[in-house]
Chains A and B, each alone.
Chain A
């Protein structure tokens, strides 16, 4: 590149992010040699530009805000509010006890009841969560993993009570345990029994729920834990490979389940890196499904995914700056052709979002959809020398990691050895050091700081939420047929210890109003509990 005598650049080296890709001054046709040119059209293999031919010109992405707090009463109200404000899909945040298989009356659960999500102990809670919301008409994503089978069973049973058959249900269950051991940490059982439950759900959905995504293979939480964009993409696809292989090992044909596999990624603030990441992800996954697994159905090779803007990019300082970050990140998700999107609220470094903040977050999506023009043509940044080059570099980075993980024996083995955890931890710490040293600027945090405190109206969780939920649970346990519950829990234990699919007995169990904690305990009796190995 031409040396510019006498002209200084701001920095010695420009990078997408701290451990990211080094970016040149300008990109030209020479950066894209013929063997690196991807001239495929939207809707054509390898789907770099979009899985659909017409993209958002046919249908906009689903605007799906992750929400849940306190009891079903408060959360049902929030859902109806979001729906009325133009949200087009639901996304359930469960409180930690539900995610960890404890009822609200468990000693470990008490301080956490209704804090980070809605308290769901039994089918009764699930029924009331959807009161007045027709489950045959909406799509619902549920962020639930270790207890995914129980919660999915409850959703099926609640829909049935509304008169909606399971084969009509639309939505997604996260059901991705591998990333829990790496980043999100809501595992209960060891990797092997977890993998069994995951594949039970995928198998059950493949046979009974044709409109339901049986898994949402998630990079989001690894990114939040500190992964770079390339690491997020690579480790997620490596986990995806492990799930596809596990299903095949259980005797399923790849095209019977893969069309209902879905993904979940983050969008951070480097707009171009994020757009390139989504394009590279679609391309690499298509190649994996076709070349490695010999998938024939086009829907098996299409990467479809949900995006959430980056929670850890939000700052507690000058929280209004977050409005801008979220807008850029959401634009990246849209320019990257996502299927569904959650935009964070600007107050989320401080608390769960207030109604006002979540409305603005939703409005951000609506402004992008209807005013920015980003949804009017498919893959509008495609063909930019820089973006195409960046897409290729990210693809290379992903492939390199996948080869390394393949050599280790796959994602499960790489996780057991702590390899993926260590890689992420290194990136996280490098980022932290760069921010502390001021090398990575975070506006309002380490540059352009101010001491003026901003008083925001934050959402407060009702102090009595624990007591109210405990009363509900106590009433339920006194009213249901407890002999029936005991019998069905025995059958859950038997099913867990045998080869068959566990879903049918779980559906029976939740219909008898056995609780999340009781069913989880029955599974613990058979599978035991997993204790994380020391990480530092």
Chain B
């Protein structure tokens, strides 16, 4: 990897207003040296996809605590993939029941982080995943 800063988009799709976790993660990843765009709440999948492309991010973090995560995350990912071929890492957070995790993995959400996750764990995950990705593609 070069010294280029990792670019992360954090956003809340849907109508859910619980933004404490998303904001804390955005602040924490920024403190961990990443370039973080916090897009805010009540966004449509299209708005998130457009912003991710414009900001040319490496990671898209989606947060949902309303129980609508399956539909909202998959729509957001579809919307992004329709517009871009870039390999980005999707991560999710919020109140995500364990039984939904396999379905989210299948969709392409690399990991989900529930309440109580240290932010260092999320930062570590992102760095490892990106390094692995670049090892695969380069040389």
Binding site for B on A (CB under 8 A): 96-97, 99-100, 102, 108-112, 115-116, 180, 184-186, 224-226, 312, 314-317, 349-352, 425, 428-429, 432-433, 435-436, 442, 445-446, 453, 458, 461, 532, 534-536
Cα(A435)–Cα(B115), bound, Å: 12
Within 8 A of A (CB), among B55-103: 66-68, 71-72, 75, 95, 97-98
Q: Tell me the minimal C-beta distance from B22 to chain A in angstroms.
A: 9
Is B27 in contact with A458, judged by CB distance below 8 angstroms?
Answer: no
Which residues B30-49 have CB closer than 8 A to chain A?
Answer: 36, 38, 40-42, 44
B68 contact from A111, A185, A436, Cβ within 8 A = A111
* Residue from the list B17, B24, B71 in contact with A110, Cβ < 8 A: B71
Cα A433 to Cα B26 in complex, Å, equals 13
Compute how far the CA of A180 lies from the CA of B97 in the bound complex, rounded to whole angstroms: 27
- Taking CB atoms, residues of chain A closer than 8 Å to B118 are 435-436, 446
Task: Give A67 Cβ to nearest chain B Cβ, in Å.
Answer: 15
For the complex of A and B, the 6 pairs showing the least CB-CB separation, nearest first, are: A185-B17, A111-B68, A115-B67, A111-B71, A96-B15, A536-B38
* Shortest CB distance A425–B (Å): 6
Residue of B nearest to A109 (CB): B15
Query: Closest residue of chain A to B17, judged by CB?
Result: A185
Given the complex of chains A and B, what is the CA–CA distance between A435 and B19 in angstroms? 18
A228 → B minimal CB distance (Å): 14
Contact A108 B15 (CB under 8 A): yes
Among B20, B66, B68, B98, which residue has its beta carbon within 8 angstroms of that of A428? B20
Q: When A and B form their complex, what is the total count of cross-chain residue pairs whose Cβ atoms lie within 8 Å? A: 101
Cβ contact of B38, chosen from A111, A316, A350, A535, cutoff 8 A: A535
Provide 20 A-B residue pairs closer than 8 Å at the C-beta atoms, listed in order of the A residue.
A97-B15, A99-B15, A111-B14, A111-B71, A184-B17, A185-B18, A225-B19, A226-B24, A315-B115, A315-B116, A350-B95, A425-B27, A428-B23, A428-B24, A429-B24, A435-B118, A445-B116, A446-B116, A446-B118, A536-B26
Whole-angstrom distance from the CB of B124 to the nearest CB of chain A? 12
Tell whether, in the assembled complex, residue B20 and residue A226 are in contact, meaning their CB atoms are under 8 Å apart. Answer: yes
Known contacts A96-B66, A536-B27: does B14 contact A112 (CB below 8 Å)? Answer: yes
B114 touches A532 (CB 8 A): no
Complex: A446 Cα to B98 Cα, angstroms: 20
Nearest CB of chain B from residue A361's CB, rounded to whole Å: 17
Bound: A532/B98 CA distance, A: 32
Q: Which single residue of chain A is at the shortest CB-CB distance from B19?
A: A185
Q: Which residues of B contact A314 (CB under 8 A)?
A: 115
Out of B24, B40, B44, which one reaches A535, CB within 8 Å? B40
Chain B residue nearest in CB terms to A442? B116
Whether A351 lies near B97 (C-beta < 8 A) is yes
Given contacts A112-B14, A185-B17, A351-B95, contact A536 B115 (CB under 8 A): no
Which residue in chain A gives the minimum CB-CB distance to B30?
Answer: A536
* Nearest CB in chain A: distance from B134 CB, A: 27
20 other contacts beyond A429-B28, A436-B119, with CB at 8 A cut-off? A96-B16, A100-B42, A111-B14, A112-B14, A116-B16, A184-B17, A185-B18, A186-B15, A186-B17, A225-B19, A316-B115, A317-B116, A349-B95, A350-B98, A351-B67, A352-B67, A425-B27, A429-B24, A432-B24, A432-B28
Residue numbers in B under 8 Å from A432 (CB-CB): 24, 28, 119
Report how far A349 CA is from B14 CA in the complex, Å.
20
A328 to B97, CA, bound (A): 26
How many Å from the CB of B95 to the closest CB on chain A?
7
When distances are taken between beta carbons in the complex, the residues of chain A under 8 Å from B98 are: 350, 453
Taking CB as reference atom, which chain A residue is nearest B71? Answer: A111
Minimum distance in angstroms from A185 CB to a CB of chain B = 3
User: Which of B15, B68, B72 meets A100, CB within 8 Å?
Assistant: B15
Q: Name the A residues within 8 Å of B42 (CB-CB).
A: 100, 185
Q: Select one of B41, B114, B120 contacting A185, CB under 8 A.
A: B41
Cα distance A433–B118 when bound, in Å? 8
Instruction: Point out the residues of chain A lying under 8 angstroms from B44, CB to CB.
Output: 108
The answer to whether B67 and A461 have CB atoms under 8 Å apart is: yes
Residue of B nearest to A102 (CB): B15
Taking CB as reference atom, which chain B residue is nearest A100?
A: B15
8 A Cβ contacts from B104-130 to A? 114-116, 118-120
Alpha-carbon distance between A435 and B28 when the two chains are bound, in angstroms? 13
A456 to B16, CA, bound (A): 25
A99 to B18, CA, bound (A): 14
CB distance from B34 to the nearest CB of A (A): 13
Give bound CA distance, A461 to B24, whole Å. 29
Q: Which residue among B17, B18, B41, B72 has the maximum number of chain A CB atoms within 10 Å of its CB? A: B17
Q: In the complex, A532→B120 CA distance in Å?
A: 29
Nearest Cβ on chain A to B83's Cβ, whole angstroms: 19
Instruction: Give the Cβ gap from B23 to chain A, nearest Cβ, in Å.
Output: 6
- Specify which chain A residues have a CB less than 8 angstroms from the CB of B72 in the assembled complex: 111
Is A316 a contact of B41 with CB atoms below 8 Å? no
Closest CB in chain B relative to A454 CB, distance in Å: 10
**Chain B residues near A315 (CB-CB < 8 A):** 115-116
C-alpha gap A534/B11 in the complex (Å):
12
Closest to A317 in B: B116
Closest Cβ of chain B to A440, distance in Å, is 12
Give A535 Cβ to nearest chain B Cβ, in Å.
7
Q: Are A350 and B97 in contact (CB under 8 A)?
A: yes
